[in-house]
Structure 1
């Protein structure tokens, strides 16, 4: 059985999620697990998908970045899938498809995972250097606070009876921000 997993980081990325679902459906995934949560957050549907797959199944994702946060995370996922006899298929792997059933596929996936993590870390270093340069030049203003802009949505959801943790999950912001802003708003 082919089991698909699709994920976007925020609720604003509806088109990206729909595109992943379309691709997974096109390769005949019989079961789809989808969620809109940051890869660093709790990925409940991903855990359910990992529990669901059985020996002989294939877990299918559209791209590597939809699956793992780091090389160690990727290797842990691969170990878990391999222990269950489950293959991993990545539909868009640099213009080709990747399947971990072969030793070559596993090797390539591990190498690309390490390269992707290395590239991400380099990008973060360059970003920090750019921010420091902009601060020295007086051009850096920092990012606009995002949670405060969502206060009207928080009010509505609170009035509908949602708890602050549910609101935080729905709006993809921290619980602390929701508690703080709703408390400030009430006074």
Structure 2
């Protein structure tokens, strides 16, 4: 029986260290981590690796439920997949496990709360952006990708997949940047 930790943050400028330290302290022999949005399972290759690796009796450990996912359906599907493999899911804060029936109920409620919280965050963000636009102070979000590097790599003959790997973004982002640079619409 292995304890496998999974840590996730949404953006590259966020820090994984606190989660990693908690998972190590809990005795996780293997810890996989990634910097990707939890809004869906798309692009979460480390999570997919963990799910492939799980064996009967293993335990998937996360520090908080929202590290596993922000959508109730996704979280419940992940828990179901773990159970189909005979594995358990444990959340450290608050401490809940799928080893018992009560854990299932609590995780379902926590998943719904995480999804609702995500909606509230997006709504507040949207309201704040609209107010900043009305006040004339909105400058847009912080650019995390060097757009000049993307276009220069393309000019050097690199393809979108290679550019995405070199810059650390998705291929779709590369396409968007290049289309924006070339004055096209996707």
Instruction: Please give the TM-score of this superposition, normalised by the length of structure 1.
Output: 0.77
- 1:22 maps to 21
Which whole-Å CA distance do the structure 2 matches of 1:5 and 1:120 have between them? Answer: 20
Determine if contact 2:72/2:111 at 8 Å carries over to the other structure.
Answer: yes
Q: Matched residue of 1:32: which SS?
A: strand
Assess, with a 3 A threshold, how the Cα gap between structure 1 residues 21 and 163 changes in structure 2: closer, same or farther.
Answer: farther
- 1:77 maps to 78
- 1:130 maps to 128
Determine if contact 2:70/2:118 at 8 Å carries over to the other structure.
Answer: no
Which whole-Å CA distance do the structure 2 matches of 1:125 and 1:5 have between them? Answer: 28
- 2:163 maps to 167
Q: Matched residue of 2:92: which SS?
A: strand
Structure 1: gaps (5+ residues):
none
Assess, with a 3 A threshold, how the Cα gap between structure 1 residues 60 and 154 changes in structure 2: closer, same or farther.
Answer: same
Question: How do residues 26-41 of structure 1 correspond to structure 2 at under 5 angstroms?
Answer: 26-39=25-38, 40=40, 41=42
Q: Matched residue of 2:56: which SS?
A: coil
Matched pairs, number: 177
Kindly state the Cα deviation for residue 124 of structure 1 after the two structures are TM-superposed: 1.9
- 1:108 maps to 106
The alignment's C-alpha RMSD in Å is 2.9
Q: Matched residue of 2:16: which SS?
A: helix
Structure 2: gaps (5+ residues):
none
Which whole-Å CA distance do the structure 1 matches of 2:147 and 2:109 have between them? Answer: 43
Assess, with a 3 A threshold, how the Cα gap between structure 1 residues 132 and 57 changes in structure 2: closer, same or farther.
Answer: same
Q: Matched residue of 1:109: which SS?
A: helix
What are the Cα deviations for residues 37-94 of structure 1, in whole angstroms up to 9, with x where unaligned? 222441111111101101111001112121113001111111111111111011222x
